[in-house]
Chain A
Amino acid sequence: MGRYIIRRILGFFPTLFCVITVAFFIIRVAPGGPFDRDKKIPPKVLEAIEEKYHLDKPLYVQYVLYLKQIASFDLGPSYKYQEMSVNEIVGQGFPVSMQLGLVALFFSLMIGLGAGLIAAIRRNTFWDYGSMGFAMLGIAIPNFVIAPILILFFSLGLSIFPPGRWESWESVILPGFSLSLVHAAYIARLARAGMLDVLTEDFIRTARAKGLRERLVILRHALRGGITPAVSYLGPAAAAMLTGSIVVEKIFLIPGMGRYFVDAALNRDLTLVMGVVIVDAAVLLVFNLIVDILYGVLDPRVRYD
Chain B
Amino acid sequence: MAEVGDVILSVCDLRTHFRGEEGIVKAVDGVSFDLRRGGVLGIVGESGSGKSVTNLSILRLIPDPPGRIVGGEILFHRQNLLSVTDAEMRKVRGNRISMIFQDPMTSLNPYLTVGRQLTEVLEEHFAASPADARRQSIDMLARVGIPEPENRIDQYPHQFSGGMRQRVMIAMALLCKPEILIADEPTTAVDVTIQAQILDLIGSLRRDLGTAVILVTHDLGVVAGMADEILVMYAGRVVERGTADDIFHRPSHPYTLGLLRSIPRLDTSESRLVPIRGTPPDLARLDAGCPFRPRCDFAEARCSESYPPTRTVGAATHEAACFVDPATAPTTTPRAEVEP
Contact = CB atoms under 8 A, between A and B. Distances in A.
Interface of A: 124, 201-203, 205-213, 216, 220-221, 224-225, 298-301
Contacts of A211: 90-95, 121, 124-125
A201 B108 CA distance: 10
Contacts of A213: 90, 124
A205 B109 contact: no
Interface residues of B, number: 29
Interface stretch (B96-104, B225-233, B258-266, B313-321): B96-104
B61 A205 contact: yes
Given A210-B98, A211-B95, A301-B158, A202 B120 contact: no
A301 B110 contact: yes
A135 B94 CA distance: 39
Contacts of A224: 111
A contact face: mostly helix, strand, loop, or mixed: helix
Contacts of B110: 203, 225, 299-301
Lowest 5 CB-CB distances: which A-B pairs, in order? A210-B94, A211-B93, A211-B94, A202-B106, A203-B109
Contact of A221 (B99, B101, B109, B158): B109
B198 to A, nearest CB: 17
Contact of B107 (A202, A212, A216, A299): A202
B127 to A, nearest CB: 13
B214 interface: no
A301 B120 CA distance: 21
B59 interface: yes
B90 A206 contact: no
A168 B150 CA distance: 57
Given A202-B101, A300-B158, A301-B158, A209 B112 contact: no
Contact of B111 (A208, A209, A216, A298): A298
Nearest to A205: B61
B38 to A, nearest CB: 22
Contacts of A216: 120, 124
A206 B169 CA distance: 9
User: Which of A203, A216, A221 lies at the interface centre, i.e. has the most chain B CB atoms within 10 A of its CB?
Assistant: A203
B71 to A, nearest CB: 23
B81 interface: no
Given A211-B124, A213-B124, A220 B112 contact: yes
